[in-house]
Amino acid sequence: MGKALVINEENFESIINTDKPVLIDFWAEWCGPCQMIGPVVEQLAGELDGQAIIGKVDVDTNPNLSVEFGIRSIPALMVLKNGKVVEKMIGVQPKAELEKRIKAHL
């Protein structure tokens, strides 16, 4: 079973430059809604292992990524393909919605 990758400023470029869809969850430890969506993100990492890359960026320890992507509210979820943002969602999303948006780019 796959697990959501820990994405940071050092490994970000090497992870997003792929033809697979990459779901990134911008979150923080102190954020209640982030804690709610965390298990859903982990579930998707397992279910879509090999098809998509699922990762999490802690906004407190990676402020440059937050600025680069204009993150002002968390949880913020983005789907990237070939290094470009193709989907952007703010707030807690149902698992089915996240799955649909990822699979649209498989």
Whose tokens are 């699979």? That residue is 103
Domain regions of the chain by residue span: 5-103
- pLDDT for 1 equals 59
What is the third-level CATH fold of 5-103? Answer: Glutaredoxin (3.40.30)
Is residue 104 part of the annotated active site? The answer reads no
The backbone torsions φ and ψ at residue 16, rounded to the nearest 5 degrees and listed phi first, read: -80, -20
- pLDDT tens-digit profile, the chain (106 residues): 579 999 999 999 999 999 999 999 999 999 999 999 999 999 999 999 999 999 999 999 999 999 999 999 999 999 999 999 999 999 999 999 999 999 999 9
| 106 included as an active-site residue | no
Q: Which of 5, 31, 90, 92 is catalytic?
A: 31
Query: Phi and psi dihedrals of 71, rounded to 5?
Result: -75, 115
Catalytic site residue from 34, 41, 57, 77: 34
At which residue do the structure tokens 């911008």 appear?
26
pTM of the model as a whole: 0.95
- What is the model's pLDDT at position 2? 77
Q: Cα(20)–Cα(103) distance, rounded to whole angstroms?
A: 10
CA-closest candidate to residue 15, choices 67, 53, 62, 58: 53
Q: What is the signed CA dihedral for 90, 104, 85, 25, rounded to 10 degrees?
A: 40
